[in-house]
Structure 1
């Protein structure tokens, strides 16, 4: 069993003081081993913060001011409580003592031991409160340290996830043998993006592509984009898609149906908008379908920029999406621009006004990716309220 540590008090007072025995006895009854001195110089030389848990000093000692004793004790041990004894005429000194760190004061003459007991009680309560605060600060510091370690771990995980997501994205820009160039700009609002794009050449004439925007932000949305990428790649391994002109439209609907089924079955409470299409470079024709896409993709020709038509329900909300494949003949020179809805957050006004301003900027920049990003200040904005993705395809 651990022995209880004895409590020691250093008591400085003129031994002729009538209340000295009263205070001495009160300290002893409280369990203190009292060292009684009447010399301030001797007390300072005798004091050790490791030994004495309490100091009581008269403000008037034969050789030294009690304020000086208080100052020297506090300099050596700020945590040691000090009680000063003062007369009614020592109000200024009492105020000074409190400023120097005295824990309490007792006015003389002292005729009742309860007075000193109350002062010691207050000191003990203050000491206990200080101990609790110190323990709380230590615990808080420990938890802050653990939190910082946890945040560092999350940041490393997020950075690893970001690099993985970047690795899944295609090269940009990419020039296909058919003379079609695909490029994109994808900027997440957080470490990871809920937007994703992909494109590829099928056979010698078909360039397939998609832009998907998953609801929400961060890790959960990014994981859904990885699920969509994996599902499409798995479907392509099982089926021969986008290689026969007479089955292109059915292939597009099959992709949307498959992703819709995956989102509903996983029960992740996530939905997505999507623009998916195939360009037939030989026939100069675009086949495409939209699923809750806002804003609509825009086609830029010599006549200017205009929104494509089409409608269809978002993915992951309904069993049937009512998607319809549209077909559009392309001129010899054209540019196709598709944006996630986060791009609209870069513009002011209501939804119709933002869409109008976006189409104007697409028209003004002729659908050039770098020029459009510059016009929207994508590359100079430090943070975004939503993920930003712009996909462009062109043929000159």
Structure 2
């Protein structure tokens, strides 16, 4: 009886030989394509159990190959082969539907074993979900009741998520205003925001975008909210100026650990920050955030600098804590990547349009939502969230 089949799309001889040998040892029949077009030509729905695509091919991007394979067969189990440190490539591949990834140089057969187990372990997904549910129930009985409501009734789930969200707008001492608009593409959202006052001078906030849509992603946003609140009960965060950097990194590490431990295959981007109203400074970190937050002053709007790996994919995120001085009058606008779906053109063109819209609106929530047609766009391809903070 013929074994399972695989298609390896790469012109990297070392990677090709390694994968051919490793997959063959696991009983796979291996077909090889030296270019992206060759791989697309060889591919047929249900013909291959696994398709491995190199990010860098001689004729086209591996991401483009993945996109075309997903159009032909949305269920194909695709794996992206990326270079070490290419976190953005991995994140884009996951968003396009890749089920796993391998990092060059390919040297460990055990990595292939783990990949095959993850992809072939569809039958274990229900068991993992049950174990995940039990873990949540043990952590918090109130959250258990909420999860049960969410599973039984989407309306109850929607009300729960709205209940967990903060009031909008909200005004804090020091003249800081926070507001947001969250529009789910389905009944429930994988986006989430929160903010709060710590002491008399620190306003902390975050915007998180969990991959996917619907109930499972909404459950993860509830888990993130609960985990952060639990950490706040364990020890004070954002209470002292000299500990702000550690506190921001602690939040990112906490969420990253939670996502990795769920075994649901969920990842997320996140923007977390603290406004020091006394010193007029912004302390912040980003994890896979796209588009970047924008700071608006009298001179216009500009993207904030910074980078960091997304959450739920890597054990270490290499996140950075950045700081920006705030003028007497300022606005801050942060958006989930669903906002880019409202705009036309390639990514750079969309980002330019978004920054212009932010500048034209002065970073005010309602004018920005109107400019982007958030409430009148029609059927949304992705959850959309806009978070604004400011001081007039």
Alignment TM-score, normalising by the size of structure 1: 0.61
CA shift at 1:381, angstroms? Answer: 2.2
2:183 aligns with: 187
Structure 2 CA distance, aligned partners of 1:381 and 1:167?
A: 25
1:235 aligns with: 231
Report whether the alignment pairs 1:248 with 2:244. yes
The answer on whether the counterparts of 2:150 and 2:156 sit within 8 Å (CA) in structure 1 is: no
Report whether the alignment pairs 1:299 with 2:295. yes
Q: State the structure with more CA Rg.
A: 1
Structure 1 CA distance, aligned partners of 2:360 and 2:262?
A: 42
Shift in CA distance, 240/363, structure 1 to aligned 2, threshold 3 Å: same
> Equivalent of 2:375, from 367, 373, 379?
379
The answer on whether the counterparts of 2:190 and 2:210 sit within 8 Å (CA) in structure 1 is: yes
1:272 aligns with: 268
CA shift at 1:155, angstroms? Answer: 9.9
Structure 2 CA distance, aligned partners of 1:325 and 1:344?
A: 25
Structure 1 CA distance, aligned partners of 2:254 and 2:364?
A: 32
CA shift at 1:266, angstroms? Answer: 1.2
2:157 aligns with: 161
Structure 1 CA distance, aligned partners of 2:212 and 2:206?
A: 19
Q: Which moved more, 1:380-389 or 1:313-322?
A: 380-389
Alignment TM-score, normalising by the size of structure 2: 0.61
CA shift at 1:265, angstroms? Answer: 1.1
Shift in CA distance, 246/233, structure 1 to aligned 2, threshold 3 Å: same
CA shift at 1:191, angstroms? Answer: 0.4
Structure 1 CA distance, aligned partners of 2:199 and 2:215?
A: 35
Report whether the alignment pairs 1:209 with 2:208. no
2:40 aligns with: none
The answer on whether the counterparts of 2:333 and 2:387 sit within 8 Å (CA) in structure 1 is: yes
Structure 1 CA distance, aligned partners of 2:235 and 2:313?
A: 25
Q: SS at 1:363's partner residue?
A: helix
CA shift at 1:395, angstroms? Answer: 0.3
Structure 1 CA distance, aligned partners of 2:374 and 2:268?
A: 23
Q: Provide Cα deviations, 1:303-355, integer angstroms capped at 9, x if missing partner.
A: 00000000000000000000000011100000000000000000000111100
Runs of 4+ that moved beyond 4 A: 153-156
Structure 2 CA distance, aligned partners of 1:345 and 1:381?
A: 10
Report whether the alignment pairs 1:263 with 2:259. yes
- Count of residue pairs brought into register by the alignment: 244
CA shift at 1:382, angstroms? Answer: 2.7
> Equivalent of 1:364, from 360, 367, 390?
360
Q: SS at 1:358's partner residue?
A: helix
> Equivalent of 2:312, from 292, 313, 316?
316
Unaligned runs of 5+ in 2: 1-148
Q: SS at 1:210's partner residue?
A: strand
Structure 1 CA distance, aligned partners of 2:323 and 2:351?
A: 23
Structure 2 CA distance, aligned partners of 1:154 and 1:201?
A: 29
Q: Provide Cα deviations, 1:221-254, integer angstroms capped at 9, x if missing partner.
A: 0000000000000000101110100000000000
Structure 2 CA distance, aligned partners of 1:269 and 1:379?
A: 31
Structure 2 CA distance, aligned partners of 1:284 and 1:223?
A: 35
Q: Which moved more, 1:156-165 or 1:304-313?
A: 156-165
Structure 2 CA distance, aligned partners of 1:258 and 1:307?
A: 26
Structure 1 vs Structure 2 CA RMSD? 1.3
